[in-house]
Structure formats: structure tokens, C-alpha cells
A and B are shown apart, each in its own frame.
Chain A
Amino acid sequence: MSEPTRREMLLLGATAMLPVPVAAQETPRRGGALTVHFATEQRILNPSLQASTGVYIVGGKIQEALLDLDAQGNPVGVLAESWESAPDGLTHTFRLRRGVSWHDGKPFTSADVQFTAMEMWKKILNYGTTLQQFLTEVQTPDPHTAVFKYEKPMPQGLLLRALPDLGYVSPKHVFETGDIRQNPANTAPIGTGPFKFVQYERGQFIIADRNPNYWRDNMPYLDRVVWRVVSDRAAAAAQLESGQILFSPYSSLSIADLQRLGRDPRFEATTRGNEGNVRTNTLEFNFRNPVLADIRVRKAIAHSLNVPFFIENFLGPFAKPGTGPIPSVSTDYYPTAPMPQYGYDVALANRLLDEAGQRRGAGGVRFSVRLLPAPWGEDIALWATFIQQSLQQVGIRVEIVRNDAAGFLRSVYNDWNFDLASGWHQYRSDPAVSTTVWYRSGSPRGAPWTNQWGWKDDRIDGIIDAAATEVDPVKRKALYADFVRSAQTELPLWMPIEQIFVSVFNRRIRNAGNNPRWASSTWHDTWLAS
């Protein structure tokens, strides 16, 4: 049987939601240490308090969530064994796994779920606070049942899709006294997962060892997981090549190195196992600038950018043109009908700008704008330069203003000190988690990655609110199709590129990428070939 080529594998990974199954079945080998590239150190490692890939990559092996996603991308029980929801969407019952214990030996019970949900997810966890805002209480009729009560209907699909990321459980007996944020267990986590926290040397490494009392029989296979802190991209690539690191997650290497290592037979560079971590590149407009408030100008800008050309020449095989706020990997909510798109058409762009009254002045310049690119990715810097050069052709002068992370968020989302901004929108399994906030009006000033454009549309607000509490999956999907159509018609911001994070695996790692959020998942079935 011939192996598929790398390009085929990449295309498969990028187009299909389903991870490619491993071809040959081998007998897993016990033992070995998996060394992982850890690019950005986090303040805490507790995924019950901070929802981000940088936390999941470590904390997700030590602590477990109620649910995870299986190879097909469907919710599968981890700490919850089964669940049912009342038809009105106000009550969701989880039956919890029995015989599970925390790393310190105490049993895992429904009291832990109740405590984590009410004190962490609802009060502290980013995105959790929005998801669980209508959660009124968690009842614990017995140690193995947790009943979630909501005051407004919670769609089961939304809850089940959100919980793999926003449903990590922390031990109540460790956190119930003192300030939760200051608890030492946030940087030395205690969980129920396959690996037990051992040591965290800031700036160097984190070590977790095999949990011998793990609830899955004979698992995990690995003896140890070591995360090495390497902030320099080129140095990380060298460590992969010298074998000091076996796995680099979430596109943490330079685009050139990703492509180079992908051609090396010792490694695999793939989007497989990251299908649950999709991002779209954005182009955000500030409506306080009257020029950009004119829809003809926004459309003209979109028509001026040759997105397929940019992808082919700068991003390579790991990206594809986006079609709207809901990315194509979202099998449940990606609209089936075609939505309004803005193809490359310079003549049309020029005409639209003329119609909008933005005539060319001295030097052929119509007007000038400031573009703020977010600092979290090589692709954003390239995209910003591409925008600058493309818009020059239609007579728009673009000044690029670079900031670091804190500066970017403050300037764009709090000070509104921008004309155009560009960054990533991250899609998290369901549009209600972190997508609709980009369009819904009424976000308080300063909330990052929300509608801070000075734009408001009552119709879109209505659709977003209705979809968030719509219990019927069919109606919900129709509402989101409506949402995408309106978003693409009004164009308050544009999401023209869709990307899945790229992982680089050393081929010794087996069962790598076997679920859509593999880098974040528990790695209980991961093993190393000798």
C-alpha cells in the first residue's frame, strides 16, 4: 500500500473534519518520554480558570474535562459517562464516572463538578463566564450525578461542543479555601488525568509523570511528558531536528520551517488533530472613521485584495479562502447555501470608491488609513503588508502601526485608535462561544475580540440572541445561516482566510492527532515507537 503524499495528507487534513485514521495497527509500546515544544509560558496551568491552547497543552494532560471530542468530532464522555437534557433546555444532567480519584488520592465526585462550575466556569473562566451566565445552580442528588439548571434555555449542542474546552474540572477540596486565583495548585495542578504534575521550572521545562492509578486500564503508555520552554522559533526547529523536542503544536514554528520540516521524512507537518482549533484572519473596520462607515468603501477594500494569490504565495498549503464568520470545518453550522463573497476585482473596487465620493487626489491617493496588525503570527504581518500594497493600487494609502500584544489590544479594543485592524478570530466549536461576540453590539468597551467597531445592527443582534437560546438544532442552524448572510452583506468586518493550526510531529509518536483537538487532549493513548 502506497503512502499518501504530504500534500495529499495536508489537503485531506484541511478539507475534512475527520482526522485521517492511522493506516496500520501496531501494538502500543509502554514507556518513553514525550518532549513537547512550549512556546509561550503561561501565568497559570489550570484549564478550569483559563481557556487557551497554551494552558490546554499542559493542563489538559493533568486535569480532565467532563467531555472531549472523538475521532469523528462528536462529544465523548471523559469524566461524564452519559448525559441527558430536558426538552426545554433548562436542565442538563450528567452522570459521572465512578472509581475516579484525584492525584492526591481523594475521590472525584459531583461536588467537584458543582464547585468548579459555580466558582470557576461561571465566575472566572474566560468564555465560560459568557457560556454559563444563565446557569443558576448545579444540583448533586448523589456523588455521581450533576444536574445543571439554567434560567434561559441552553441548547444541548452548544453545551456539549463547548465543554471539551470549557469543562475542565478542578478538585474542590484543594480550591475551596482561600483565593482561587492565588491557589498554588494553579501552577502545580492536581487533576484526574493520565499524567501527574511533577515540576515546573520557569523558563525551562515542565515535567509530568505517568499516573499509575489512572481510571483507563493500562493507560497511559508514556512514562513522562516534558514540555520544553523554547521561545525562539528557529531554535525550536533546531531542537526538533536534533531530537530534543518531538512535537511542536499550534503553528509555533515559522512558516518556512513548517514547510521545510514537512518535507523531511523524520517529521510530519499537518493540520490533522487541530480541526477543532480553526482561526480566520480578520480585517476589522472602525466605523468612527466616516470613510469606512460607507459600505461601498468596505466592499471596495475587500474587492482589492487577491486572497487566493496571497494564500498560495505566502501561507502555503495550510490555509484556504474563508467564506464568512463560521468556518467550513464546522460541520454543524457551516451554511449550506452560498453566501455573499467579495472576489478580487480592482475595476469594481475603483468604481465603488468613485461612487462613494472618494476621488483620487494628488498622487492618485484617495485617502489614508492606519492599519494595526496583531502581533500573534507571521501570517498577520504578511497579510498587513499585502493589504498595504494592494490598497495602494486603488489609491488608498495604508500606514502600518505595529504594537506588541498588550499595546494592540489596548489600542484597538479599548482606545478605538485605529482605522483598520487585522488579527485572528478563533472559532471554538460553536458560533455562540467566541464568534458572535465579534458582531453583537453592547460589548463593554475594552473587551478584546468583540464588536468595538462602533457598528450596531438590530437585526443581527436579534438573530444572535435567538440562536444562543434556540434548543432545536435545525432552527439553530437556520438562524446561523441567516447570521452569516447578514454579516457578509453588512461587512462590519471581513474574515477572508481560514487556517487550521499546524502541528509538527516526530514520526515516532503514535496515535498522534487522532482527535480534532489532539494537542489539547489527554494523550492517554499516545505512545512512542522505539
Chain B
Amino acid sequence: MRVLQLALRRLAASLPTLLLILVGLFLLLQLAPGDTVDALMAQMGGGDQALAEELRRFYGLDVGIAAQLGRYLMRLVTLDLGFSSIYGKPVATVILERLPATLLLMVSALSFAFFFGLVLGVVAARRVNKWPDTLISTLGLVFYATPSFWFGLMAIVLFSVYLQWLPAGGFGDITQNLTGIAAVLDIARYLVLPTLTLGLIFLAIYLRIMRASMLEVLSLDFVRTARAKGLSETRVVARHVLRNAMLPMVTLIGLQAGTMLGGSVVVESVFALPGLGRLAYESVVQRDLNTLLGIAFISAVLVICINFLVDILYARLDPRISAGS
């Protein structure tokens, strides 16, 4: 019941945000010179004026901006995301086709970063200022400072071009029709490099946060009490410190879920993955307003959902939070 109440409150608070995002994005894109017909002309390599006018009518661009926005919002109330001008299909269908790749990449990269960030952070904190800490912190800094497109390209050059261990790009082998376990393994093979590329930067952030947070908690009074009780160091870390040090990590996941949705444009382009990031980029270049707004809508909903889950997780990790609210 409490969870439901929380959910409803969250939803009510996020609706105005969602509306602001959509209207803002709509108006922002109006500032960019040119519309989807100009983009189409660029792709066709030319065409005459009558053709352009007919296309503008076809895409519903022959009315004013306010009328276009009004039409869009009216449709949105009925959960109709409209029609994509690049793809010639309903926006909902286009996004649903792209969502699995993005979600898969995001979940695997986040899990990778979270898990290894946690482990490395704990190791670094326990050996603070000794060589494992220095090594881990330096590596973290290197990962953090390296642009992901460069990392991705270098990984392709090493693992695909020279060693030929992993495919250079794509989302599954298209020369054979695989099913069941074989298909899953095949997609997993294609996801290794993108996951590592996207995950490494986040790994660097997580391990630094985890290290700092561990060090802070380790200096608190209750840890001294636990030690004084005669608990082993491992038990102190696992039962007392870790749980408390996790809170900033969980906050970060909630924040970064949004970043990852948008931030994977680069990784998706380098590895030719059919994800939402590339779709969004293409929609901007092609001025496909409906698709872009649709992606913003879906992404916003996803971020809101994830943050809701994070809130619930908080309460599990730290009972004081739910008691206080």
C-alpha cells in the first residue's frame, strides 16, 4: 500500500516534468534551421519546389508551429506517439524495435560497471595507499579519461581485426538463422565489446565513489564498536560497512540510467548497434520530430521508473529512510 502511494505520488510529480521536457524539446528543434523535408531533399540529392510543398503537406508541416504542437499533445493524451517520417511506421513500433538493444546494452554495461566497481572499490579501500589502491585508482583514472569512441575503436582493432576473436560490430550473426541457446550466445558475443566500452567509464566512476564511501564509513563510530566487539575484519566489511557504503552507489545508478540511454549514441554508432541513441541522433539530423519526441517520452518514462525502483531500494538498504518519510 505504502509502495503504491509512493508510486502515485511520484507519477503525479513527474507528469509536469514530462510535459516540460516534450514542449521544450519541440520548441528547441524548431530553432534548428530546416525541417524533415529539407533533410529528405539532402538525402535525395535534389527535387523541385512543388515536390517539397507536397511533401510538407504529407508530413503535416504546412500548418503553424503552435498547431503542430497542439496536434502532437492531443495525440499524446491518447498515447499515440504519431508517425515517423523517416521510417514510415508508427513511432511506437520504431522505438519498440530499437528498445531491446539499448536495454540489453544498458543493463549489461551497468551490471558490469556496478559489480566490478564495487569489488575494486572495496579492495582499494581496504588497501588504501598501498600498491593495489594505487594501481586500481590509476587504472580508474585512465578509463575515466579515455573517450569511449576511441576505446571502442581500439578494442575493435585489437579483438576483431588482429586477434579475430570477436565481431567488429552488429547485433547477431545474420548469415545464419540461429535459435535458442545458440542465438543467445551469438548476441552475447556481439555485446562483449560494446559492454566493455560503455561499462569502463562507469566502472571508473563507481570504483572511485565506492572507495571514497568505504573510507568514510570505515572511520565511523559503529565500525569501531564492531571491531571492539571482536568481529573479524571480513565480517565488519561485509555486514557493517558495505551496506552503508552502498547508498551513494545506488543513487548513482538512478542518475546514470538516464545518462546511459542518451550516452550510448557513440557506442551504438561505433559498434553498429540498432539502439535508441542512434535512432535519436538520426531523428535530429533528419528532423523527425515525432520520433525524437517519442524517444524523449520513452526515455523519460524509463528514467522515472528506474528512479522509483532506486527509492524503494533505498528503503531496503537504510530502514531509516522509509521510517522518516
Contacts and interface: CB of A to CB of B under 8 A. Distances in A.
B30 to A, nearest CB: 12
Interface string A378-417: 0000000000000000000000000111111111001100
Interface in A244-273: 244
B64 interface: no
A232 B265 CA distance: 11
Contacts of B319: none
B208 interface: no
Interface in A416-439: 426, 434
Given A202-B97, A242-B160, A405-B38, A235 B44 contact: no
Nearest to B45: A52
A238 B34 contact: no
Contacts of B270: 232, 234-235
B88 A415 contact: no
A239 B167 CA distance: 8
A129 B51 CA distance: 9
Contact of B34 (A127, A129, A241, A406): A406
Most buried by A among B48, B170, B271: B48
A56 to B, nearest CB: 11
Nearest to B276: A203
A444 interface: yes
Nearest to B166: A242
B272 A228 contact: yes
A33 interface: yes
Contact of A448 (B41, B58, B171, B271): B41
Interface stretch (B180-188, B277-285, B293-301, B307-315): B277-285
**Interface residues on chain A, size class:** 35 or more
A162 interface: no
Nearest to A444: B49
Given A405-B285, A446-B52, A235 B274 contact: no
B2 to A, nearest CB: 42
B274 A203 contact: yes
A239 B40 CA distance: 28
A231 B269 contact: yes
Interface stretch (A41-49, A142-150, A333-341): A41-49
Contact of B174 (A42, A130, A207): A207
Contact of B171 (A204, A239, A406, A410): A204
Nearest to A201: B274
B175 A51 contact: no
B46 interface: yes
Interface of A: 33, 40-44, 50-54, 124, 126-127, 129-130, 181-182, 186-187, 201-205, 207, 226, 228-232, 234-235, 238-239, 241-242, 244, 376, 403-411, 414-415, 426, 434, 443-450
Interface of B: 32-36, 38-52, 58, 85-88, 94, 97-98, 149, 152-153, 156-157, 160-161, 164, 167-171, 174-175, 269-275, 278-279, 282, 284-287
Given A126-B47, A234-B153, A410-B38, 7 more contacts: A51-B44, A126-B48, A232-B149, A241-B168, A244-B169, A404-B34, A444-B49
